[in-house]
Structure 1
Amino acid sequence: MNKKLALVSGIASLVLTACASQQDRVTASGSYEYLKAEQRTKLQVPSDLDTPEFEDDYAVPTVKQTGNDALIGRDLEVVPPALVIPLVTGSHVQDGYKGATVLIDQVKDSETLDKTIWNSLIGYLEEKGIAVENFAPDEGRLVTDWMPVNLNEDDEGDGWFDWSSDEKSTVAKGRFLFTLELKPHGRTGQLSASLLDYKQGETSLDERNPMQVRRDEVEILNRVIGHYEYLNQLETNRRIAEIRQGLDMEMGFDSDGNPAFVLDARYDIAWPRIQLVLRKLGFNVKDLDKRNGLIFVQYTDEQVSWWKGLLSSDDAKLLDYDEYRLKVKDLGAKTSITFMDNESTPFDAKMLTDLFEPFEQVMTEDGLDI
């Protein structure tokens, strides 16, 4: 019986200690005796005496009150500032901007930036089971339904003994407005989150101070940014796997009717894959222009001799040691590669046929190093 009482007493002590420590973590330490201080009145000099001269050397200047006068003592939370974390590649925050805002640069051209951002945001809301109350992409606005705030992503699995969270027993919920503004050039978007409504038990938005509101807004925005970066990583990993995977290739023609290699791959996958193949075949890439599909190379054959067994003589080489140009064109689901000399004259069918076998062997090989 005594053991049971000791166990219950120990658990109760731990709970009380945990609750107290939660309050102590967000309030200033030390004495609050200064709250009892009173304003001293000015020295009263009797009318029959001379008034002494007063110096203003140590006068405390009047400061402009910009905050809430009620936030003093234990009512003032002393916590780290809420910071927007620009995890997404090409994202950054604007210096001096106080709102929950992130600037995102466009890093891929497969779709417009606003579509990418909205798809990521809506995907996050759907994944978390949060409804969209209003969505007006033309106006750059999305309003969410009620969603949890101030919760970590893994809070759902926490046990009753986890006292690390600052949350109360009642889950706080909020409705948020997301706004997206594109810069005139269309390659940078400004995504912002604003708290429209809040409830936690009897607490409403009017009872939240500006610091708490900003903390909620920044936390929600950081969750959205994290999901955006997660999708980017998935896309990057998928793309790397496609690039390393062997691609089928055949002889054919480009859109201008010149003899060309035709790859069974989209342009965005074929472009980096071609560079890997060229490097393994002994070509040095000197310059490239993805937008116009041009690759400038120099054939050196340095430390590359594995393919010579495919040719008729031991001293054979793919090409003369010279500079060449490749024209890469998007054919929809396929991509063409046109070899040209240094004067941009396309190779004839015979010259291209001589290159086909070693080029195809490397192009269809799986697991090329990136």
Structure 2
Amino acid sequence: MQYWIPKALMLSALVSLSGCGIFTSEAHHPRNYRTNEPVVAPEGLDAPRQDPTYKMDVARYDNSEQAKATKPPMQIMPLAEGSWLDENEKLARVYFDKNEGIEDLDEFIWHAIEGVLSDYNTQAVSADKLIGTVETDWFSIVRVEEGWLWDDEIVAEQRYKFIIEEKDHQRTAALRAEMVDYRSDDVPLTPLLQQRLETRALNAVISEFDYRYRQLKVELRQRQGIISLDMGFDNKGNAALVTEQAYNVVFERFAGFLERLQFTIVEVDVDSGRIIADYTKPEASVWDSIWGEEAMQLPLEDGQYQILMSTTREGGTSITWMDKEGEVLQPGTMNDLQQALVQALRIRGIQI
């Protein structure tokens, strides 16, 4: 008896994958397009009265039995940070806002287009940065491995023109994809197919833009990773964390940094430079590892802590860590805490 279970599962999988290869569609059978004949009264009985106002002619609808596959228009996917669409847009166009770290938005989009052409083993036949246009050589935007479900019948090559339109304030730029030529021995070009291919080409650039900006953000984090947060002493001789940053800058940002490390802010006293916060060690989650935001555990016990900030004699800022009763933490604990905080600052690209 135990042998039929895997066989049944295998058969179920084959049926699911084969779909219409096993079960024929009756959607286009002629009988589905034939209206019923009017009711015929038996001999000897009067036919029911019919109001001519609601009388409908008996009709037949001729339709091919073979289903005619139609496809919806492809959607532009503004997945890159700072990208967006105009709801009333009729063309394959996307808008990019200038994100942090991007010095020249036009140039960044140019590099994204070049990356797509390189990925598809093609090149630009003409490019004019002053006008903002790039015209590509022949290539197929539909890869063979991508065409298993939706575009396996498209055996074609295209040439595209990408048009960059930057706003006067240079904080926003639009990118448009326009097909300039098409060739195929099997598939004629239709307006719907052209829309789908232009949108696919535009989505490829958006994806490359997103990839390159993610790389740039990593570089920015690495540049900001040199954090001046060292072990030292406050003005009273207690072991403390010391930074060269000015007191007002550190105090303004430190509470927000603590909240990202699972602290709950209880009180912030600007006059005394004291922050009271509760700490609870975070629990690791599968989703944390998937999204790359693994919760960091500090070398502290759960409970309430007081963080006192003051200006050092050198003009920097000291951060003295105390427990709920106001007792300064031991130097060994402070040393472990300093290493954990510096690591957290670098991973998150935060500078205090």
Category of TM-score, reference length = shorter chain:
0.5 to 0.7
TM-score, normalisation: structure 2? 0.52
The answer to whether the 8 Å contact 2:101/2:216 transfers is no
Partner Cα distance (1:137, 1:364) in 2:
47
Q: Does 1:300 align with 2:273?
A: yes
Identity among equivalent positions (%) equals: 20
CA pair 163-352 structure 1, distance change in 2 beyond 3 A: same
Partner Cα distance (2:256, 2:86) in 1:
46
Partner Cα distance (1:182, 1:151) in 2:
31
Partner Cα distance (2:256, 2:165) in 1:
47
2:198 corresponds, among 217, 220, 239, to 217
The answer to whether the 8 Å contact 1:281/1:301 transfers is no
CA pair 74-210 structure 1, distance change in 2 beyond 3 A: farther
CA pair 195-276 structure 1, distance change in 2 beyond 3 A: farther
Partner Cα distance (1:225, 1:242) in 2:
26
Partner Cα distance (1:182, 1:109) in 2:
18
Partner of 2:281: none
1:279 partner amino acid: F
* 1:367, distance to aligned residue in structure 2 (A): 0.8
Partner of 1:164: 149
* 1:241, distance to aligned residue in structure 2 (A): 4.5
1:146 corresponds, among 138, 152, 166, to 138
**Counterparts of residues 108-187 of structure 1 (less than 5 Å):** 108=100, 110-151=102-143, 155=145, 164=149, 166-168=151-153, 171-187=155-171
The answer to whether the 8 Å contact 2:73/2:195 transfers is no
C-alpha distance after superposition, 1:119-155 (max 9, x if no partner): 1211222233221111101111000111212237xx1
Partner Cα distance (2:256, 2:73) in 1:
54
The answer to whether the 8 Å contact 1:181/1:190 transfers is yes
The answer to whether the 8 Å contact 2:95/2:172 transfers is yes
Question: Cα RMSD (Å) of the superposition?
Answer: 4.8
C-alpha distance after superposition, 1:154-173 (max 9, x if no partner): x18xxxxx9535324x8421
CA pair 166-364 structure 1, distance change in 2 beyond 3 A: closer
Partner of 2:93: 101
The answer to whether the 8 Å contact 1:245/1:365 transfers is no
Q: Does 1:200 align with 2:184?
A: yes
* 1:368, distance to aligned residue in structure 2 (A): 2.5
1:177 partner amino acid: K
Partner Cα distance (1:226, 1:126) in 2:
14
* 1:225, distance to aligned residue in structure 2 (A): 0.5
The answer to whether the 8 Å contact 2:308/2:319 transfers is no
1:355 corresponds, among 316, 321, 324, to 316
Partner Cα distance (1:141, 1:73) in 2:
47
C-alpha distance after superposition, 1:22-60 (max 9, x if no partner): xx99xx95247999xxxxxxxxxxxxxxxxxxx9xx9xx
Partner Cα distance (2:307, 2:72) in 1:
68
Aligned residues: 234
C-alpha distance after superposition, 1:302-355 (max 9, x if no partner): 248xxxxxxxxxx996538xxxxxxxxxxxxxxxxxxxxxxxxxxxxxx65163
C-alpha distance after superposition, 1:219-259 (max 9, x if no partner): 1111110111111222223433544554589xxxxxxxxxx
For structure 2, which runs of at least 5 residues remain unmatched after alignment? 1-13, 34-52, 57-63, 231-241, 260-269, 278-305, 321-334
CA pair 180-355 structure 1, distance change in 2 beyond 3 A: closer
Partner Cα distance (2:257, 2:192) in 1:
60
Partner of 1:279: 254
1:87 corresponds, among 79, 91, 95, to 79
Q: Does 1:368 align with 2:344?
A: yes
Partner Cα distance (2:272, 2:125) in 1:
60
- Structure 1 residue matching 2:74: 3-state secondary structure: coil
**Counterparts of residues 326-337 of structure 1 (less than 5 Å):** none
CA pair 143-281 structure 1, distance change in 2 beyond 3 A: closer
Partner Cα distance (2:150, 2:258) in 1:
58
- Structure 2 residue matching 1:366: 3-state secondary structure: helix
The answer to whether the 8 Å contact 1:246/1:364 transfers is no
Partner of 2:28: 30
- Structure 1 residue matching 2:316: 3-state secondary structure: helix
The answer to whether the 8 Å contact 1:173/1:198 transfers is yes
TM-score, normalisation: structure 1? 0.50
* 1:77, distance to aligned residue in structure 2 (A): 4.4
Partner of 2:300: none
The answer to whether the 8 Å contact 2:276/2:307 transfers is no
The answer to whether the 8 Å contact 2:179/2:194 transfers is yes
